[in-house]
């Protein structure tokens, strides 16, 4: 199999350790020379003191963390999540598998959300000050925290595409919408990074990640048959989803539509050498995928509201997007 490392933690660990060993040997042999192996696990291309710019070595960094997330996912899903499910009394095979997957989602999105909030506190975009998306563009010199956050998130989403391609998770009823979501997400990540739009990209990341913490937690409660707690959690999740995935995302869309002209006149041209790309038509290039993402969110929002209403009326809160998770009991 061409991607054994994606499903076998031992194989992934070997790939992860190799650059670390190379780095250690290089440091001992040539302590005064730049270490080429460090590009695998630390960000590259420092400029302007403490700032960092894009680099071809970013591809090496992302590839390394794709392998890392493959290792981390298998460890959390299989070694932690599934064992926790059995320990907590979940017995049906389908639910044990899904419990492991949602454990990984909860762990990842909790870390990503906390990290994203920390990064935003150091940016001019704190709390969704949208004008800063465009003022002083191009934002090619990133804080180290922003660059690391952005590239690690890119690695996570590429690894999620591998999960789909390798069928590591059983498809859900909304599989087609899920695939479209992943494609749009990868598109947004790549183009926003290339075009020095990491400030708006970071804001989108954060608005998407925070609701996932509450969603995965609600799912875990559901698998544990904690009916009262899961309904309370679902209600909180619905509120968080409404605020982050709709209010804040529509705020971002409105900023693209109404504040795009805040881009400095000198930067409203396609000049890769200067890091400027925001010609007049790029406005619609940015709007289109963000609008597509919002339409997908509205589709899922309708399902969320149906689940919430059903839960309040009948005390049942099953996710309508999931297939029958009791199969294989």
Give the pLDDT confidence of 276-329 residue by residue, as tens digits.
999 999 999 999 999 999 999 999 999 999 988 888 887 665 665 555 554 443
Same domain as 80, residue 1: no
Residue 54 lies in a domain: yes
Residue 96 lies in a domain: yes
Same domain as 248, residue 190: yes
Same domain as 200, residue 69: yes
Residue 140 lies in a domain: yes
Residue 125 lies in a domain: yes
Q: Quick one: what percent of the chain has pLDDT higher than 70?
A: 95
Q: How many other C-beta atoms lie within 10 A of the C-beta of residue 72?
A: 19
pLDDT at residue 327 in the model: 47
Same domain as 134, residue 86: yes
Residue 188 lies in a domain: yes
Can you name the residues that pair with 52 across neighbouring β-strands?
Answer: 46, 142
Same domain as 200, residue 96: yes
Same domain as 195, residue 80: yes
Q: Which residue has the tokens 């925001």?
A: 278
Same domain as 80, residue 228: yes
DSSP per position, 300-316: HHHHHHHHHHHHHHHS-
Same domain as 80, residue 27: no
Cβ neighbors of 205 (< 8 A, separation 6 or more) are 112, 116, 149, 150, 153
Q: Is 102 exposed, middle or buried (0-12, 13-18, 19+ CB in 10 A)?
A: buried
Q: Quick one: what percent of the chain has pLDDT higher than 90?
A: 83
Q: What is the mean pLDDT of residues 201-214?
A: 97
Same domain as 130, residue 3: no
Same domain as 5, residue 113: no
Q: How many other C-beta atoms lie within 10 A of the C-beta of residue 144?
A: 14
pTM here?
0.93
- In angstroms, the CA 75 to CA 268 distance is 47
- Evaluate if residue 184 carries a pLDDT over 80: yes
DSSP per position, 146-202: HHHHHHHHHHHHHHHHHHHHTT-SPPPTTHHHHHHHHHHHHHHHHHHHHTT-HHHHH
Q: List pLDDT tens digits, range 55-113.
A: 999 999 999 999 999 999 999 999 999 999 999 999 999 999 999 999 999 999 999 99
Residue 324 lies in a domain: no
Same domain as 5, residue 52: no
Angle at 74 between CA 203 and CA 12, to 5 degrees: 95
Residue 106 lies in a domain: yes
Rounded to the nearest 5°, which phi and psi values hold at 41? -120, -5
Residue 62 · residue 69 · CB < 8 Å: no
Question: How many domains are contained in the chain?
Answer: 2
Same domain as 111, residue 17: no
Residue 135 lies in a domain: yes
Mean pLDDT of the chain: 93
Q: How many other C-beta atoms lie within 10 A of the C-beta of residue 229?
A: 14
Supply the range of the domain harboring residue 215: 45-314
Q: 51 in helix, strand or coil?
A: strand
């Amino acid at each position: 199999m061409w991607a054994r490392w994606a499903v076998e933690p031992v194989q992934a660990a070997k790939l992860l350790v190799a650059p670390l060993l190379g780095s250690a040997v290089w440091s001992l042999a040539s302590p005064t020379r730049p270490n080429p192996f460090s590009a695998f696990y630390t960000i590259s291309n420092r400029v302007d003191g403490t700032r960092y710019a894009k680099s071809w070595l970013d591809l090496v960094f992302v590839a390394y963390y794709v392998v890392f997330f493959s290792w981390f996912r298998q460890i959390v899903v299989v070694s932690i999540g599934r064992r926790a499910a059995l320990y907590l009394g979940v017995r049906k095979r389908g639910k044990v598998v899904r419990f492991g997957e949602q454990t990984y989602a909860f762990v990842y999105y909790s870390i990503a959300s906390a990290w994203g909030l920390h990064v935003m506190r150091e940016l001019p975009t704190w709390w969704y000050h949208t004008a800063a998306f465009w003022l002083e563009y191009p934002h090619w010199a990133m804080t180290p925290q922003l660059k690391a956050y952005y590239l690690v998130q890119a690695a996570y989403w590429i690894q999620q595409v591998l999960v789909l391609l390798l069928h590591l998770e059983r498809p859900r009823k909304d599989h087609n919408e899920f695939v479209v979501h992943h494609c749009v997400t990868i598109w947004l990540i790549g183009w926003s990074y290339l075009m020095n739009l990491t400030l708006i990209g970071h804001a989108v990341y954060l608005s998407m990640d925070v609701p996932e913490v509450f969603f995965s937690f609600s799912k875990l409660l559901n698998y544990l048959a904690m009916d009262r707690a899961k309904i309370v959690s679902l209600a909180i999740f619905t509120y968080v989803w409404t605020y982050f995935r709709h209010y804040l995302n529509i705020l971002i869309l409105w900023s693209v539509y109404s504040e795009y002209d805040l881009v400095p006149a000198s930067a409203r041209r396609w000049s890769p050498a200067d890091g400027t790309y925001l010609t007049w038509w790029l406005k619609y290039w940015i709007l289109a995928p963000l609008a597509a993402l919002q339409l997908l969110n509205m589709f899922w929002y309708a399902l969320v509201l149906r689940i919430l209403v059903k839960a309040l009326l009948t005390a049942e809160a099953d996710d309508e997007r999931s297939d029958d998770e009791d199969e294989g009991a």
